[in-house]
Amino acid sequence: MANKRNKATSIFLPLCVFAILFAVLYLSSGNVEAESATGSLFHIRNLLDLLPDRVSTKIVPDESLHLEIKAEDEGETIFYSKQGYYRYGPSIIEYEDGSYDAWFSAPGNNSTQWDWITYRHSDDGENWSKEKIILKPTEGSRDQCSVCDPGVIYFNGYYYLGYTSTDDYGRKGFNNSMFVARSENPDGPYEKWNGSGWGGKPQPIIEYDGDPKGWGIGEPSFVLMGNELYIYYTYFDTTGGYTSLARAEVGENWPETIEEKGVVLGRTTQDSLDVFYADDYKVFMAFSIENRMSESSEMAIYVSTNGQEFEHCDSTKKYIEDYAHNMGIAKGPDGHQRADRPILAGYAYGKRWGRWNAKFQHINISNQIKYKITQ
């Protein structure tokens, strides 16, 4: 009789373990409600109660983040290329009253100034003001060719507008460095950092010193953490690229205190990152277009607990335009945001080079409940 019981147990245990593994996979797929008193989780727990005492397996919620990103709908194209070539790389500030400020890369004078930065305001995220040019290159200076890729943050009474530029006409858009300008108003006038203060001919705040044939440094994104300014930016030389982090102490002449902190994410098929700190999740969230400028372009989310090491969480294609690139995500004036509600995002799209539309869409971020087996 004892041998029969042992044989039955030896068959029963593997079947139960298989059932548990299947249950965990099913629960983690998001097809059942968590903690349902009459659902699958209840029955699985009853099954566990039937196991012999020597099997101490439990199914418990996995407390780590399992974020999913989705576009709420098809959104709205707010600029068509037939209106004037392109608008791309929006930087978007959202205020507590539901209004928005947004800055864009736009064409310059089609000769000596390749790009200018424009500004629009919205009281509701749907109806936008007439566009205004708010920043141009300074002739005969380090940013004489272009001002583009805006990244904006507000603190200590000023809007700080970071941008990409170069004085190298011969490289035609390469050999870039990063600059910054400030204003008390979102639509200017702006005064540029000159290396020791504000106003006059600009100097880079982070300078590219690699092979001038490389793209260089730019595409800034800012987050304020206490008295520290986190500065995310793109680096590309002739061997490859990545997103990097620098930090500065907040103060009147904060560019003088910038310190490099190193690479946060290698660049493969993804575009530049726009980053905010999610106050509800207590993590940094970074957003990008993957497979940029292709038919398979999609939107992606990355997460970091310390702002330094980012990991990919999810990507979505539904409602995201083909040939998308250079996105921006709405965040508070200090670079913080809540991720438990729809968030406005914008990006450029279009198959033909330099003929890019601009679209705004609301993005939903959710934390899917997953389960794991513990002993």
Give the 3-state secondary structure of the chain. CHHHHHHHHHHHHHHHHHHHHHHHHHHHCCCCCCCCCCCHHHHHHHHHHCCCCCCCCEEEEECCCCEEEEECCCCEEEECHHHCCECEEEEEEECCCCCEEEEEEEECCCCCCCEEEEEEEECCCCCECCCEEEECCCCCCCCCCCCEEEEEEEECCEEEEEEEECCCHHHCCCCEEEEEEEECCCCCCCEEECCCCECCCCCCCECCCCCCCCCEEEEEEEEEECCEEEEEEEEECCCCEEEEEEEEECCCCHHHHCEEEEEEEECCCCCCCEEEEECCCCEEEEEEEECCCCCCCEEEEEEECCCCCCEEEEEECCCCCCCEEEEEECECCCCEECCCCCEEEEEEECCCCCCEEEEEEEEEEEECCEEEEEC
Each residue's pLDDT tens digit in the chain (375 positions)? 545 444 444 554 555 555 555 554 555 555 444 444 444 444 444 555 555 555 556 665 555 678 999 999 999 999 999 999 999 999 999 999 999 999 999 999 989 999 999 999 999 999 999 999 999 999 999 999 999 999 999 999 999 999 999 999 999 999 999 999 999 999 999 999 999 999 999 999 999 999 999 999 999 999 999 999 999 999 999 999 999 999 999 999 999 999 999 999 999 899 999 999 999 999 999 999 999 999 999 999 999 999 999 999 999 999 999 999 999 999 999 999 999 999 999 999 999 999 999 999 999 999 976 655 666
Give me the pLDDT at residue 336, please.
98
Query: What does the DSSP 8-state code read for residue 306?
Result: S
Tell me the pTM.
Answer: 0.84
Give me the pLDDT at residue 65, please.
75
Give me the pLDDT at residue 31, please.
45
Give me the pLDDT at residue 41, please.
47
Query: What does the DSSP 8-state code read for residue 152?
Result: E
Q: Would you identify the CATH topology of the domain 67-367? A: Tachylectin-2; Chain A (2.115.10)
SS3 (DSSP) at 132 = strand
Q: For the chain, which residues make up each domain, given as ranges?
A: 2-62, 67-367
